Structure 1
């Protein structure tokens, strides 16, 4: 359901044509890649501990679906997941986002 809602939001913001965001639309920015909503402390910008399976199957899925629908930008989570700063996580940013999804947006 989260993935379906994310795709609907992406298409609502951008329109159906990822190569032409018309004058009635704006580029979608997916936030906050990823795990931002489940910090251990329950407080904003604090570390999260997320099992690998959940990370890939639950938290990655809405981002995957939206990027495949044409989302043009992503804002990265400002915290840490499993002890690694999300901004410096090669696996999440390069392998999953750029390589697995072929994302070349902003």
Structure 2
């Protein structure tokens, strides 16, 4: 009986090691954060926002919330450009129908 105890203990240690090393802990942590985040956002009520034009930058937008706080959203790239007179203007993402068969550079469209 004494000789089989160390073998069983070794087998148990190997099983625990295999289980912990083969599990994808990063995926488990990501799923846990997603579940927690969705639970948290469901409980918050939607507040009204107003854009504060004077505090906007090329890559951020600032809002005045109804509870008196401010919220700033930062973008990964510029969403506005500076005009010749120094004011910021939003990029226009709408598509325009092309009428000509050549571009301004002379390339065929």
**Length-normalised TM-score, structure 1:** 0.17
- Higher share in strand: 2
Q: Which has more radius of gyration?
A: 2
Q: With a CA cutoff of 8 Å and minimum separation of 6, indicate the structure with the bigger relative contact order.
A: 1
**Length-normalised TM-score, structure 2:** 0.16
